[in-house]
Amino acid sequence: MTENTIITKVLRLDKQVYNEIITFPSSLQKGLAIWTTATILITLSAVRFFTGVIDFLEVNLYLFSEEATSEELLMLQTLIDQLQVEFQQSTFTSIFSSLIGSVSASVVGLIIVFLVLKYLLRKDPQPKDLAIIYLYSSIPGLLTIPAIFISSLLIQGVLLFVTAIYSFTTLGSGLKQVYFLRNIEVILLLVSITFGSTILSYS
């Protein structure tokens, strides 16, 4: 299969595509390239979206003037200023930080999935296969490209939200295909990944 065919099949939630992908010798390297590209695009889209939200709040700060005290307005302005400084760091720094954070969260998530599959669901997961499934499930992240160029905050937010849900769906589809899981088992794994990644983000 060509790369375009694989991407199309993953996005269509094809019921056999992951079983085919894990048999290809170069799937791990290609999957890593896809994951890296998707992570960079998501980071750029998210930075653009949140920068837009902050600018919107600053421009429309007067809307809160009637219901908020001067102290509350000052606190809100200070918060906006701090967020602006945070998001005005270099694009390279944002991408690098996002990649490091994503790698850490991915490793934790994959370890959790491996342990749940092996010791709770009594499957025989292979770390390489798990990594390939996880990397290729990031393909929906490529769909965030329009958010980098579109100025509408609503469309940007919808794209980011939909692709996040879509990525979880493709990950669940891959795990279900390769390990013959029931829907409740897939949900258990996805919840475990989310929980593990959340713990990491607050550690």
Rg (the chain; Cα; Å) = 20
Quote the CA–CA distance of 183 and 173 in Å, as a whole number: 9
Quote the CA–CA distance of 192 and 119 in Å, as a whole number: 14
Nearest to 168 by CA among 154, 186, 156, 185: 186
Contacts 24+ apart (CB under 8 A), 163-167: 163/42, 166/11, 166/140, 167/137, 167/138, 167/139, 167/140, 167/141
Quote the CA–CA distance of 71 and 10 in Å, as a whole number: 51
pLDDT at residue 203, rounded to an integer = 53
pLDDT at residue 84, rounded to an integer = 75
Instruction: Please tell me the pTM assigned to this model.
Output: 0.88
pLDDT at residue 193, rounded to an integer = 85
For the record, the structure tokens of 179 come out as: 């390990």
pLDDT per position in the chain (203 positions), as tens?
A: 677 899 999 999 999 999 999 999 999 999 999 999 999 999 999 989 988 988 888 888 777 667 777 787 788 888 888 877 776 666 667 778 878 888 888 888 899 999 999 999 999 999 999 999 999 999 999 999 999 999 999 999 999 999 999 999 999 999 999 999 999 999 999 998 887 766 655 55
Q: Where along the chain do its domains lie?
A: 3-42+91-202
